[in-house]
């Protein structure tokens, strides 16, 4: 099914989101198909390969027409109750049919295609042609195999936006965690931690919170070492630069506190009907320090948000799940949560 243009771009739905397909060998296309078929996304424009999305619909056993849009503006006239797909120029390359790539395998062409779709979708967001961007999972080994010079979504989107400072936030209904360092080897992450990195993270978290209606969020800073260093007994990073960065942030009017022991601060921040959270955001020094608590509460509800970009970007809190890719068993809950949060943040 192909939509032909006859209306101007200004008739696009103001609530239209861009949704990049992710790695074509993973579960991204399947969860997109499931979410759209369930009516859980609202208007979304999938930036991806038409044949891959049709394959995903078949793998999930769905009856969902796929509308091939010649250009993004055609979403204004595309038939309802369809999966709208815009295939960006250059996606088909090297004579390979992406829909014929083996499921659940690392493939350089899959990594190249995933990166191209992310970049194309980011340009739509930068040009305000869509209200926000939601990205399906990519595989970091596939990106590397394709010689993509970025290890993941966060860094790729940062480059697309001109290198603006960004931070990763993982969030669900109970906990929001912002990371100072992300996709680095542990030794490298420790080397990157300093006063400026922590202070910049606090600034980004504070200013980004306005997007979800919190002008003065309560930000807790988790320490790096056990017991937040125990006064220097277990490490002095808290004394040397984490506490000074918190003090500097407070002097700027940011409601930051800490550093707190990282093994308890997440429990204190967790917000539930029976336990109102003490904090709105927790800043964690390292990737796994911050992500394990959020993912433990339920991967299916977790959302990855990139803070600092000039547009809203969210993503599911899981990877490509190569072990079940192509079986039609993938759960779309986290993608649906990512779409819901993207709409909330875009609405301000």
Please give the residue range of the domain that contains residue 17: 1-163+312-348
Report the sign of the C-alpha dihedral through residues 262, 263, 266, 267, in that order. Answer: negative
CB neighbours of residue 253 within 10 Å: 9
DSSP assignment letter at 239: I
Phi first, then psi: give them for residue 315, nearest 5 degrees.
-155, 155
Mind listing the pLDDT tens digit for each residue in 71-116? 999 998 888 889 999 999 998 876 789 999 999 999 999 999 999 9
User: What CATH number is attached to the domain comprising 293?
Assistant: 3.40.718.10
CB neighbours of residue 305 within 10 Å: 23
pTM: 0.88
Q: Say whether both 26 and 102 belong to one domain.
A: yes
Q: How many domains does the chain have?
A: 2
Show Cβ contacts of residue 4 under 8 Å, excluding neighbours closer than 6 positions.
70, 74
Mind listing the pLDDT tens digit for each residue in 313-341? 999 988 999 999 999 999 999 999 999 99
Mind listing the pLDDT tens digit for each residue in 257-287? 999 999 999 999 999 999 999 999 999 999 9
Q: Alpha carbon of 302 to those of 114, 174, 319: distances in Å?
A: 22, 10, 12
Q: Say whether both 135 and 193 belong to one domain.
A: no
Show Cβ contacts of residue 293 under 8 Å, excluding neighbours closer than 6 positions.
175, 177, 266
Q: Say whether both 26 and 112 belong to one domain.
A: yes
Q: Say whether both 279 and 316 belong to one domain.
A: no
Q: Say whether both 263 and 319 belong to one domain.
A: no
Q: Say whether both 209 and 233 belong to one domain.
A: yes
168 occurs within a structural domain: no
């Amino acid at each position: 099914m192909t939509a032909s243009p006859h209306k101007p771009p200004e008739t696009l739905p103001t609530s239209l989101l861009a949704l990049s397909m992710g790695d074509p060998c993973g579960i991204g296309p399947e969860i997109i198909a499931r979410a759209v078929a369930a009516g859980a996304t609202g208007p979304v424009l999938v930036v991806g390969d038409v044949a891959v999305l049709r394959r995903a619909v078949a793998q999930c056993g769905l009856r969902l027409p796929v509308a091939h849009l010649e250009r993004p503006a055609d979403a204004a006239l595309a038939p309802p109750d369809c999966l709208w797909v815009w295939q960006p120029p250059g996606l088909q390359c090297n004579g390979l049919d992406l829909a014929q790539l083996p499921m659940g395998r690392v493939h350089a062409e899959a990594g190249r295609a995933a990166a191209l779709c992310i970049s194309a979708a980011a340009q739509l967001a930068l040009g305000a042609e869509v209200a926000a961007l939601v990205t399906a999972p990519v595989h970091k080994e596939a990106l590397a195999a394709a010689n993509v010079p970025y290890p993941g979504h966060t860094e790729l989107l940062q480059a697309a936006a001109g290198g603006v400072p960004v931070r990763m936030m993982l969030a669900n209904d109970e906990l929001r965690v912002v990371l100072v360092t992300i996709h680095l080897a542990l030794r490298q992450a420790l080397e990157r931690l300093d006063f400026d990195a922590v202070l910049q993270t606090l600034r980004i978290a504070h200013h980004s919170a306005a997007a979800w209606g919190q002008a003065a969020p309560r930000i807790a800073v988790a320490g790096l070492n056990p017991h937040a260093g125990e006064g220097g007994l277990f490490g002095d990073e808290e004394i040397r630069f984490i506490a000074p960065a918190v003090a500097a942030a407070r002097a700027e009017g940011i409601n930051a506190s800490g550093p707190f022991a990282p093994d308890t601060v997440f429990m204190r921040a967790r917000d539930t009907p029976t336990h109102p959270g003490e904090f709105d955001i927790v800043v964690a020094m390292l990737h796994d320090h911050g992500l394990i608590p959020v993912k433990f509460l339920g991967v299916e509800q977790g959302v990855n948000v990139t803070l600092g970009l000039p547009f809203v970007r969210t993503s599911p809190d899981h990877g490509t799940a190569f072990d079940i890719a192509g079986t039609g068993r993938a759960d779309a809950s986290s993608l649906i949560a990512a779409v819901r949060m993207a709409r909330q943040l875009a609405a301000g």
